Amino acid sequence: MNADRWLADTRTSYDTVAVSYADRIREALAREPYLRAALALFADLVHAAGGGPVADVGCGPGPVTAHLHELAVDAFGIDLSPVMIDVARRDHPGLRFGVGSMTDLDLADASVVGLLAFWSLIHVPDDAVPTVFGHFRRVLRPSGPLLLGFHVGDESRLKTQGYGGYPMNVYVHRRQPDQVAAWLREAGFTVEAQMLLDLDESVPGAVLFARRQS
């Protein structure tokens, strides 16, 4: 798939649904005790590493960035969609958000102590994942923690209608944790823990904890 095409489609799709998406997920974390537990553990790992800036890559309207701030993490958000960033700044005016792409992450080498991508890798095609993980490793400090969340499965589907009934044109990729873990190891990470979620649902989720190798 042409990189410019899928990035442009993802950006346009989320620009279109940004406001309705933010309204839909505003209270979502309150209903997800296991995700809150994963974020609390991630916050503990960041603090144990001495603290410092943490990148929430694919932050959307910013609820996870804001939740990490409540856990005393110096988190900032990055998203491909300018309208998502506008909504994040509106909803969380005291926090830092900027437009950017995980395929060309505009952060200095070893500039963040931690990084998370919560259900933002789901639109990245397989052939682009190694590039993304290479950027994640580059911007993380040695031994910095990484937290990933994603849909579990073996297929990709085209999403043509999104939140609020607005049109979208994005592929949603479901992946097995073993495959994501293998990509991480190839990129220079040590995979430390895995949590599977909603096992009785049609689309389970997974959370992986990893750490940049020195």
pLDDT along the chain (214 residues), means of 10: 84 95 91 97 97 98 98 98 98 97 97 98 96 98 98 95 88 97 98 96 96 94
**Domains in the chain, start-ordered, CATH in brackets?**
3-156+165-212 (3.40.50.150)
What pLDDT score was predicted for residue 214?
85
What pLDDT score was predicted for residue 162?
84
Return the structure tokens found at 136: 């994640």
CB of 175 within 8 A of CB of 72? no
The dihedrals phi and psi of 164, each to the nearest 5 degrees, come to 80, 5
What pLDDT score was predicted for residue 1?
56
Coil, helix or strand at residue 156: strand
Nearest of 149, 145, 126, 160 to residue 198 by alpha carbon: 149
- Region for residue 179 given its phi and psi (left: phi exceeds 0; alpha: psi -120 to 50; beta: otherwise): alpha
Return the structure tokens found at 78: 């990055």
Predicted structure pTM score = 0.95
What pLDDT score was predicted for residue 2?
66
What pLDDT score was predicted for residue 163?
80
What pLDDT score was predicted for residue 164?
80
What pLDDT score was predicted for residue 96?
98
Q: Which residues contact 200 (CB under 8 A, 6 or more apart)?
A: none
Cα separation values, 23 from 46, 159, 165, Å:
29, 19, 13
The dihedrals phi and psi of 211, each to the nearest 5 degrees, come to -145, 135
Parallel/antiparallel/unpaired status of strands 53-57 and 189-197: unpaired
d(CA 103, CA 129): 8
Return the structure tokens found at 11: 């950006």
